[in-house]
Each structure stands twice: as C-alpha cells, then as structure tokens.
Structure 1
Amino acid sequence: MSSQQAEAALNPPADIPEAAPIDPDHEHTPISRTRLVWLRLKRKPNFWIGAVVIGLIVLFALFGNLPNIYSYADTDSFNQNSAPSAQHWFGTDHVGRDLYAGIVEGLRMSLLIGFIAAPLATLLAALLGALAGYLGGWVETVITWVINLFLVLPVFYILLILSPAIQAPESLPGELRQLALMPSWMLIVLALACFGWMIMAQIVKNQTKSLKEREFVKAARYMGVGTLTILGRHIIPNVASLLIIDATLGVASAILAETSLSFFGLGIQYPQVSLGALLQNGQSGVISRPWAFYFPSFFLVALLTAVALLGDALRDAIDPTSEVNRG
C-alpha cells in the first residue's frame, strides 16, 4: 500500500454522509429521531415507574374526591383533629376540615402550578436566549446583563418583602393593586416563571451563537428570511431537546418552590390549598396529629420522585452521552 493510500485510509473524506440509524423492527428503514427517542425510553425502568406514578397522581388529583362526601371547604366541628377513620379517611385538621379532600385539592393546585410555571419559564428562556445569541451586539449585552442580575438576586427574600403588600393589596398603587388581586396561584406562577429561566437562557444563547454560523442558517439569512422565522424554524427546533428536558425537570423544581413558599406562609392562601399549605398547617402538630403532616409529605415525595425519574429517563433518551458521563 502506497503512502497516499495509507493516508486516505486513515483520513477518509469529510463529505461522506453519516448513515442514518436503522429501525430494528424494519431492518432497511431509516429510523426517525422521535422513534429513536421512544425506543430508548421504553427500555428504561425509571421512565415507566415515573410515568405510571405521575399518571396515577394526576388521576387521583382529578377524580380522587368523587367517592368522598366531604370537600375541603366543609368543616366537621365534632371531629376536629380526628385520626383517620371510616368517616374521614385521612383524618381532619385542627378546624375539622377533611384531610383527604385537602390533599386532592392540594395536588391539583401543585400540579397546575408546576405544569404551567415550568413550560412558561422554558419558553421565556428559549425566546430571550435565542434572541441574544442570534442578534448579538447590544441585544446580547442587555439580555446577558439581565440574566446575571436575576441570578444574583435573593429571590426568596424578595418574595418575603413583597408578601405583606400582596396579601394587603389596598396599600398598593392602582396598577399594582389590580395585579395583587389576582388569585394567589397565578402570582406564584408568574414569580416562578420570572425567576426560573436564566440558566437555560444562557445555554440557549451559547447554542444559538454556534448554530447561526451553520450553512442552513446562513442560507436562510441570505435569502431574506426574517429573524423570527429563522429562530422559529431553524434555531429553536435544534435546541428543542434541551428545552424539553428543562421543562420536564422544571416541573419538579416549580412544585418544590411553591411548596417551600406556601410552607413559610408566602404562597397559596386560604381558601385555596396546596401541598405546601397543608404541610404548613400540619407541621405544628406533627407529634399530636402526625397524619396531618405525613399524608401530604408522602404525596409530595411521590410526585417529586416520579417527575425526577421521568425527567432523568427523558434526558438519557434524548442525549445518551449524559448517561455515559454520569457513569
């Protein structure tokens, strides 16, 4: 073999296209990315455990109180602080409210906040990160400054300062008073979304700066395609896997953040109820009436664990190198 042949064997031409994955069920059919992700997902036990548990919790939150004769607004003055019984399956709290009905409503509220706040924060990160990375210049400078500012802000203490004004809206100016009169869960969603997008926006910005130098983006730009169209068709779809993972894992973070705020009295306010509010009510009597604390704790831990398992499986299926790196 000549030296030219040896060099060609060690350095094959760069323009040879990479072979598409083959569908194992149809030997000669190229497999789509969606099907490839699904094939990886269904082999992972943590995906099935997480999906089944989340499905059961969602069904319980939607229909769990149908066989119960009580709602959380009802009070049984003859059974205050009563232990679990045939009448009150999970017991009652200090004013006689049915804890089973409270957990159903609390799960519903926590799921609502998690499944709205997390995707909203991811959408905000995608838009601002893609704009900063694609446009560059002063736009990138401003957005990066905002990202860095929000990252160093003590979010919990800001909410602690604002909480009295939100709970007493008459002390606010007219425009802010209208905002404070919104349901407390909407305020929590807005707060979590506004303070939960920065890290993913930084990642999207860096990915966009790399993608905008690719040939297909340059071709679209030279053809006169608008900025928003390029972002929607070429940039964001190429970082969609990161956004899906961020939104999934962000659900658990949003639920935990809401629970923490409600536990300290800064979140969901009565007559609305969440798991954090139930824990806040039950922690004072954890010795004398443990059911008021441990039942909400069980459902919170089960929900967070299931979401974490599902997000972990999804991350490994979309990006298999993450599993190798962790190993």
Structure 2
Amino acid sequence: MDKVKNIDEMPKKSPLSLQIDLKKFEKATEEEKKQQDVMSESVSFFRDGMRKLMRNPLAVGSIIVLLLIVAMILIVPHVVPYSYSQIISVNGKRDKTASNMAPFQYSDKEQAYIAEGGKVFPHIMGTDEMGRDYFVRVVYGTRVSLTVGVFAAIIVLIIGVLYGSISGYFGGKTDLIMMRIVDIIYSLPDMLMVVLLSVVLREVLNVDQFPALQKIGTNMISLFIVFGLLYWTGMARLVRGQILTIKQNEYVLAAKVSGAKSGRIIRKHILPNCISVIIISAALQIPSAIFTESFLSFIGLGVQAPMPSLGSLANAARAGISVYPYKLIFPSLLICLITLAFNLLGDGLRDAFDPRLRR
C-alpha cells in the first residue's frame, strides 16, 4: 500500500474510527493569529479604565504628587514642634527677634540656646512677620485648601447628580421648571453672594457659642454654603444631558416594563452608565474650588485669622514681596502644583473612562 505523502491526500476517516485527524495539528494561519490578538481578557469597565489610567504617565505623576502632599499635611503636624498660631519662643519666653527670618535661619536667642547645648527644630521656610514658623503655616494652609476643594466637590456631586437625574429622567414640565431654576442660579454672581452671606451669617450665627465655628470663621461657612447653592449647576446640566440620552435605551424600557420604580431605574441602570462623566467632573471641580477659595482668602473673605490658607498666606506675603519674595513663592507654588495635578488627573480620567475617546 502506497504511503500518503500529503495530509490532504489522506482518505476520510470513519466517524467511528479512532484515527487522529492531523488537520487539527496544522499551524495557525496569519488571519487566525490576528483574531487571537484581538481577543482579550474580559474585564469590568472600572478595571479597564484604571488600567488605561495607570498607563498615562502624567496622570500617574499627578497621583504621586497628590499623595505626597496629603502625606505631608498628615505627618508634618506630628513631627514639627510648632503650631500654625504659635509664636517662636525660647525657654518659654517669646522671641521678638524671630520675625521675618529666611529659610533655615535661627534667631539670636535660638543661636545662643543652641550654643548652650539646646536643640531647636529648623525653620524650613523661615518665619512670618509675627515670628510664627512659616512651614507649618503653609502645611495647615494646604490642608485647609484641600479640605475646601474636596468638600466642595462632594457638595457639587451630591446635589448636582440628584437634581440632574430627576430633571433628565422625568423630562417634560418637570425638566422645564427645574432647568429654569438652574438658569436663575447660574446667573447669580458668586462673589456678591459670598459677601452677602458673610455679612448675614455674622449677624445670625453667634460663633462664640460654638468653638468649632469660631475656628472656621463665618467667611468659611459662607463659602461652603455658596458652593452648596451655586456650583452644582454645571454638574446638574451635565448629568441631565447624559440621562436624556441613556433613558432612550432598551434596557431602561425593559426595566420600566418589569415594574421597577423610577428611583431604582435611575440608581441601578442609568447612573452606572454615566459614572465616568460624573467622576471626571468631580475631579475637575476640586481644583476649581481650591482656586476659588484661594482667591477669596486673598481678598480677605476666606478663613478667619489665625487659621492660615494658601490664599491668605499669599495675600500676607504680597506686602513684603520686594524684601521677602520667598513668602509668596511657597504658597503660590503649592496652589499651582495642586491645581495642575488635579487638572492633569482629570484629563487622565477623561481619557481613560470616556467611551467616546477609546480606540
């Protein structure tokens, strides 16, 4: 019997035969290899977005910078033996020569104390005009600015998502009335509202009875209220626009037919499909709130003295900019660094989670 020289010439085997089909062991073609490359592991939307975010060097660098800043504001107050309102003193006595010192400089009394064998923690960024450690004040100012930014973003997120979801889902007259309210609020000048609320809250609130409010100050309380009243309108419009598109999909109609309530449809079916836009907008809202707080503190409408803020520190340093320029450099640099880091992170989140930008 002649040997079979080619696989194609091999006779067809019987279905009941135990003979191995050699065609199953042929090498894959180039087209089959490309199909295998296209196939990838099934992952969730959030996990896929985080993978793409981690491949963005600017976004990863921004995350590292923000983590370092957060670590600084949490660790430094426990390491540096000064407080933001403490005037430098030696042996329990106020040091009047410790004002307006340059970075890593010691006053005459501190030098004498060191010569006697004492230890003095260095003034990393010098001191201010009242003899307070400037590094600690910048750290506390950064803490205040970040707190305001995160708190404002949470307010905007909660109010804007709830308001926009209701308006976009129900539509009709409900949407018309709610959007006109948004237009009215959007037209209010935020600076005028801050000034008016500061004056009104000074008369209404008795901060002497509330130590926590006394530390924060009525200006900061009015700033939080303004964020809650004014700055959620952009988020509400964005969420409404997304929901107007998403609610036309078939799975929303299927949920309605199955008897699901409106709240459940919004919470389980609509909001998860526009979560990427919500995350991106919330991330970009933080630097905007930080910049607004710094600006208001710069003109004297921010936190109440002696509590520092990056804006109030920059305003205080403006008077002696020709003699002590470093006092303006430190808070201004941190404002720029935090704002830039959040903006780059927001851009990275947009590139990673926005389905329209995916390739």
Name the TM tier (shorter chain).
0.7 to 0.9
SS in 1 for 2:42: coil
Cα gap change, 1:225 to 1:321, in 2 (>3 Å)? closer
Counterpart Cα distance in 2 of 1:252 and 1:173: 29
**Residue ranges of structure 1 left out of the alignment (5+ in a row):** 1-21
Q: 1:69 aligns with which of 68, 81, 85?
A: 81
In 2: Cα distance, 1:250 partner to 1:233 partner: 25
Aligned match for 1:203, one of 238, 242, 262: 238
CA distance in 2, matches of 1:28, 1:281: 57
1-structure distance, mates of 2:199, 2:327: 27
CA distance in 2, matches of 1:199, 1:220: 29
Q: Does 1:126 align with 2:145?
A: no
Tell me, yes or no, if structure 1 residue 40 matches structure 2 residue 52: yes
Partner of 2:298: 263
Counterpart for residue 194 of structure 1: 229
- CA displacement, residues 237-278 of structure 1 (integer Å, 9 cap, x when unaligned): 111100000111111111111111111111111232211111
Amino acid at match of 2:55: R
Q: In 2, Cα distance between the equivalents of 1:186 and 1:232?
A: 31
Quick one: distance in 1 between partners of 2:287 and 2:171?
33
Give the C-alpha shift of residue 35 in structure 1: 2.4
Task: Give matches, 1:171-190, under 5 Å.
Answer: 171-172=203-204, 183-184=216-217, 185-190=220-225
Is 133-142 or 228-237 further displaced after alignment?
A: 133-142
The amino acid across from 2:204 in the alignment is L
Aligned-partner Cα distance in 2 for 1:186–1:306:
26
Equivalent-residue separation in structure 1 for 2:205 and 2:41 (angstroms): 64
- For these two proteins, the number of residue pairs brought into alignment is 296
Cα displacement string for residues 203-238 of structure 1 (whole angstroms, at most 9, x for unaligned residues): 211221222222221222222222211111111111
Equivalents in 2 of 1:181, 1:59: separation in Å?
Answer: 26
d(CA) in 2 for partners of 1:121 and 1:288? 41
Aligned pairs (5 A) from 1:4-153:
29-76=41-88, 77-86=96-105, 87-153=122-188
- Structure whose CA Rg is larger: 2
What's the TM-score, normalizing by structure 1? 0.83
| Aligned-residue identity in percent | 32
Q: Aligned to 1:273, what secondary structure does the other structure show?
A: coil
Mapped partners of 1:72, 1:29: distance in 2: 52
Partner of 2:189: 154
- Taking structure 1 as reference, are residues 281 and 164 closer, same or farther at Cα in structure 2, changes over 3 Å only? farther
Higher alpha-carbon deviation: 62-71 or 105-114: 62-71
CA distance in 2, matches of 1:291, 1:235: 51
Of structures 1 and 2, the one scoring higher in RCO (CA 8 A, sep 6+) is 1
Give me the whole-angstrom Cα distance separating, in 2, the residues matched to 1:120 and 1:153.
18
Cα distance in structure 1, aligned partners of 2:195 and 2:162: 29
CA contact (8 A) 1:70 1:98 kept: yes
Q: Which runs of 5+ in 2 are unaligned?
A: 1-34, 89-95, 106-121
CA distance in 1, matches of 2:42, 2:213: 55
Deviates more, 1:231-240 or 1:80-89: 80-89
Please tell me the residue identity of whatever aligns with 1:263.
Answer: F
SS of equivalent residue, structure 2 residue 70? helix
Instruction: Tell whether the 8 Å contact from 1:118 to 1:193 is kept in structure 2 after alignment.
Output: no
Distance in structure 2 (CA, Å) of the matches to 1:172 and 1:32: 51
Pick closer, same or farther for the CA change 1:160–1:173 going to 2, 3 Å: closer
Is residue 2:344 matched to residue 1:312?
A: no
Q: Is the 8 A contact 1:263 1:277 kept in 2?
A: yes
Q: What SS class does the counterpart of residue 58 from structure 2 fall into? A: helix
TM-score between the two structures when normalised by the length of structure 2 = 0.76
1:185-214 CA-partner distances (Å, limit 9, x unpaired) = 444233223221112211211221222222
Equivalent-residue separation in structure 1 for 2:67 and 2:264 (angstroms): 36
Q: Residue 86 of structure 2: SS of its match in structure 1?
A: coil
**1:301 maps to which residue?**
336
Judged with a 3 Å threshold, the aligned counterparts in structure 2 of structure 1 residues 186 and 158 are, in CA distance, closer, same or farther, namely: closer
CA shift, 1:54, in A, is: 0.5
Distance 1:320 1:133, change over 3 A: closer
In 1: Cα distance, 2:80 partner to 2:175 partner: 55
Distance 1:161 1:187, change over 3 A: closer
Question: Are the equivalent residues in 2 in contact too, given 1:117–1:190 (CA < 8 A)?
Answer: no
Which moves more between the two structures, 156-165 or 312-321? 156-165
Q: 1:79 to 1:275 in 2, by over 3 A?
A: same
Distance 1:321 1:211, change over 3 A: closer
Alpha-carbon distance change, 281 to 322 in structure 1, aligned in 2, over 3 angstroms: farther
